[in-house]
Homo-oligomer: A and B are copies of this chain.
């Protein structure tokens, strides 16, 4: 008996109730029913991002939403600082290159997050910078940046802060208005536990002013078009209606459970996983670890592709490998969305079994016991 369990940091597992919701007969999007659903979903997105700002839904991936935000916020005459501490940050740099956006890069060692101090220095070094682009939870390295601190110094400078919250929003603390973030981005296939296909941007009034100040070299990804349509809870282009129906279902559930409780639960699973790794004599990669995904270093003598293959084919657990120069050196386990403590014990148990079979010296039960101790402590 082999069950499939997705522990990749996106796509993540989709709840059965959401699959059923999305399986209902399709309806047209130019209807009062769709507009009503879309209105409610956008109200709930504000709760998700903890903001009063206008949220925008694009049928596309998180990359589409991030590109729309970067291109919209960086017309000619502006300059962006791209904080680059991983594979996804690199992608936002590539957006700047592709669209000839004036930018400079702040390189940060992989595994580390950015903070107010390094951003302050970069801002002081280049007075032209008026836009900062930062990844909160860098999925490739599992490093967390201090968005609250960075937002503070960005605001002081009067610059606009665009945050890639793709593996942050709905998983770990995100407080757009409290922190003073201008644009927050996320996607459907992470903590929102939906299939891939929707990107979201929450856009502050300050950011809208910038976006309105010039013509965007984009049609499909022009945030202005989405905002205009949203005046009638409508869309400029045909939306993924079944995903939006699933979205409403998920957002209602998130509201019911409460973000604070979800953040605490994600943190608990991450802590249990890190303790398990330690007990198994495995190192975690990130110096500043995020709680939405954990990177565990593959120990000497263990073949990473074989490890993942056996986890998947023998035990049904799908985990992710490393990207870039981390390929073959780490595996990554998600703590986002539709995953609970018992799934997490399962993936740790499967990793124990696989490592043992691959000759790594390990006492069966050592990892899961360390994780269970964390769970028992939290269950008091």
Which residues on A are within 8 Å of B, measured CB to CB? 1-3, 5, 16, 23, 257, 262, 265, 314-317, 338-343, 345-347, 349-350, 352-353, 356-357, 364-366, 368-370, 372-373, 375-376, 379-380
Contacts and interface: CB of A to CB of B under 8 A. Distances in A.
B364 A373 contact: yes
Contact of A349 (B5, B265, B341): B341
A372 B352 contact: yes
Contacts of A316: 340
A339 B375 CA distance: 23
Interface of A is mostly: helix
Contact of A346 (B2, B317, B346): B346
Given A342-B345, A353-B379, A364-B375, 15 more contacts: A1-B262, A1-B265, A1-B338, A2-B340, A317-B342, A342-B343, A345-B345, A345-B349, A349-B368, A352-B376, A353-B372, A357-B379, A366-B369, A368-B368, A368-B372
A349 B365 contact: no
Contacts of A343: 3, 342, 346
B365 A379 contact: no
The winner among A1, A353, A379 for most chain B CB atoms within 10 A is A1
Nearest to A374: B364
A261 to B, nearest CB: 9
Nearest to A367: B372
Given A3-B343, A343-B3, A353 B375 contact: yes
Contacts of A353: 372, 375-376, 379
A316 B341 CA distance: 11
15 contacts: A1-B262, A1-B338, A3-B343, A341-B349, A342-B350, A346-B346, A364-B373, A364-B375, A365-B369, A365-B372, A365-B373, A366-B369, A368-B368, A368-B369, A369-B369
Contacts of A5: 342
A342 B338 contact: no
